[in-house]
Structure 1
Amino acid sequence: MNKIVCATDFTRNSIAALQYAFKMSNLLKKELIVLNICNPEEDDEYHSASDNQAILDTRVQLLQEYCSIHLKADFDSLQIRAIIKKGKNIPKKICNFIKDLDIAFLIMGTHGNSPFKAKNFGSITNAMIAASTFPILAIPPTFEFINLETIVYTSDFEEDDIYNLNQIVKIFAPLKISIVILHIYAYEEYLTKERLIGFQTLLAEKVALDNFEFKLIFSENILKTLNEYLLTTNTDMVAMMERKNKSEFNAGSHQDLVKKMDNITSIPLLSFNTVY
């Protein structure tokens, strides 16, 4: 996990993601690759190979300039890579590019509360959350990185949660982070506590971190309660797993919950997928 990829579409909503990716790559001492997927021109087939390469070179230069402007430094001094790929299916093209890379996570911007959210890069982020086989870190467009000390992980006390928590510990090992494992339940409390005890035992066997805190909250409105908890605590990042099946964490679809959180959260959202 020695690389971070930041996918951008050159828009305002991608700026915060680029800035976050740059700071995080420095903190974690990982290589940063800034990626843009552009649509093939309709007349590409009529261009010569040299003309097509010139078009790509121009696009790369524009991406480098975009990085320089928003990271406030000459591109050569940033020590990052700017890469352009062509493709009409952006999520598929991103996945194909990343599949053979050893990445910690993919960083993308979200659409925030824009009324045009379905038409911009935020919808691509949602598509990536649903389909990716690697962690997606979604950054709200108004977010400014200050520090990363506390991550809240929403858990349903499943084995996949332990895998994801271990990934978080490994990814952010250079930082002194604390992890709050949050479970919001809407059924019998004694069953929840029994499952918690079993989960804690298994977690202690498989994850090398002492700084875990467990939080149980009863609520029938999962999304509202989760958002209120994040707003009233010193949370720097929320991590969730997109669960393909119905989960006791949520009476409905956890997949929808992750996407809804991506739409409304004001802090970075780290999403894992059950395909791990």
Structure 2
Amino acid sequence: MKKIICSTDYSPNSVSALKYAYALSRLIKADLILLHVYPPSEVRGGVTSHGKKEALNIHHKKLKTFCEKHLEKDFDSLNISLAVVPGPNVPHSILDFIRDLDVYMLVMGACGTGTLKELIMGSTTKEMLSISPFPVLAVPAEFSFKSLDKVVYTTMFEEEDLNNIAELVKITKPFKMKLYVIHVTNKDELLTRNEMEEFKARISKRIHYDNIQFEIVFSDDVFETLKSTIEEIHPDMVVMLERRNRTELSNILHRDKVKRMQSCTKIPLLSYTASHLNE
């Protein structure tokens, strides 16, 4: 069975991520692993990296307590697996842990604006967006999972977008989710509308799902218009593709857009990568 990995540093942001990951795993019937990476040199109750076994036990108990407290259930009833690993670099330690697993997505807290720990978690999430071959779901603090009734997918009419949409429909088709496929651009209107029609035709040949709505929005300020369009739709999730196969400049600009969206949105943002889809 595919797995959802939820990485936590015990910050308020990661509490929202835990609750979202747990609800989503129950909804789509996926295994959930809660992961914590701790510094090898960190002292916990007098235990240093030299007492590895005892340090692992201490962190495992803390992770279990964190689960029970925020999910408000006895741990044995949760059907969650716990994993604690030492690592000097949190993003790369997460990547090492999940590399050989069959993963739906990695769930993390989105950027915080409060404590230092929240800001660190935010920077970890941003780095994971850059290096993870697996989809990364960034969950804002205080966000409460209710359903997956509406999902927005932002498209550039690329082949990877078709793969993404096919993956989304596989997961959510049983729930009759409404999928909004939107494209915000400042380019030529006629050319863009033709591209959208071609894209719709490609989707209809490959994906048999009626509950998809397509929309083009023309604006000189693509980022702000994208943000306001998403706010108007008020979806339960936003999905974007982390495009790594472009020219260096366009790649940097698009990645910046994904990270800016992850920093400011109040809605969970799922970021796929082209490298993952092509595996």
Aligned to 2:185: 185
* Aligned partners of 2:153 and 2:179 also within 8 Å: yes
Name the SS for the 1:142 alignment partner.
coil
- Return 5+ residue gaps in structure 1 as ranges: none
Aligned to 1:88: 88
Distance in 2, matches of 1:127 and 1:251, equals 15
* Aligned partners of 1:2 and 1:31 also within 8 Å: yes
Amino acid at match of 1:199: F
Evaluate the alpha carbon distance shift between residue 207 and residue 168 of structure 1 in structure 2; reply closer, same or farther with a 3 A threshold: same
- Return 5+ residue gaps in structure 2 as ranges: none
Compute the displacement of 1:114 (Å).
Answer: 3.7
Distance in 2, matches of 1:11 and 1:52, equals 24
* Aligned partners of 1:143 and 1:266 also within 8 Å: yes
Compute the displacement of 1:173 (Å).
Answer: 3.6
* Aligned partners of 1:182 and 1:216 also within 8 Å: yes
Distance in 2, matches of 1:90 and 1:145, equals 26
User: 5 Å matches for 1:1-276?
Assistant: 2-41=2-41, 47=50, 51-114=51-114, 116=116, 119-244=119-244, 245=246, 253-275=253-275, 276=277
Aligned residue pairs, count: 271
Compute the displacement of 1:234 (Å).
Answer: 3.1
Evaluate the alpha carbon distance shift between residue 208 and residue 86 of structure 1 in structure 2; reply closer, same or farther with a 3 A threshold: farther
Compute the displacement of 1:179 (Å).
Answer: 0.8
* Aligned partners of 2:183 and 2:217 also within 8 Å: yes
Per mean C-alpha deviation after superposition, the further-off stretch among 89-98 and 55-64 is 89-98
* Aligned partners of 1:7 and 1:35 also within 8 Å: yes
Compute the displacement of 1:88 (Å).
Answer: 1.1
Percentage identity across paired residues of the two chains: 37
* Aligned partners of 2:87 and 2:93 also within 8 Å: yes
Amino acid at match of 1:257: K
- Give per-residue Cα distances to partners, 1:86-109, cap 9 Å, x unaligned: 111111111121121111111000
Name the SS for the 1:120 alignment partner.
helix
The two structures have a TM-score, normalised by structure 1, of 0.92
Distance in 2, matches of 1:216 and 1:28, equals 30
Compute the displacement of 1:172 (Å).
Answer: 2.4
Distance in 2, matches of 1:217 and 1:147, equals 26
Distance in 2, matches of 1:210 and 1:98, equals 34
Compute the displacement of 1:175 (Å).
Answer: 2.2
* Aligned partners of 2:182 and 2:214 also within 8 Å: yes
Evaluate the alpha carbon distance shift between residue 41 and residue 229 of structure 1 in structure 2; reply closer, same or farther with a 3 A threshold: same
**Cα RMSD over matched residues?**
2.2
Compute the displacement of 1:113 (Å).
Answer: 3.5
Distance in 2, matches of 1:147 and 1:90, equals 30
* Aligned partners of 1:104 and 1:171 also within 8 Å: no
Name the SS for the 1:148 alignment partner.
coil
Distance in 1, matches of 2:129 and 2:49, equals 36
Compute the displacement of 1:251 (Å).
Answer: 11
Evaluate the alpha carbon distance shift between residue 4 and residue 42 of structure 1 in structure 2; reply closer, same or farther with a 3 A threshold: closer
Name the SS for the 1:9 alignment partner.
coil
Distance in 2, matches of 1:243 and 1:118, equals 27
Amino acid at match of 2:162: I
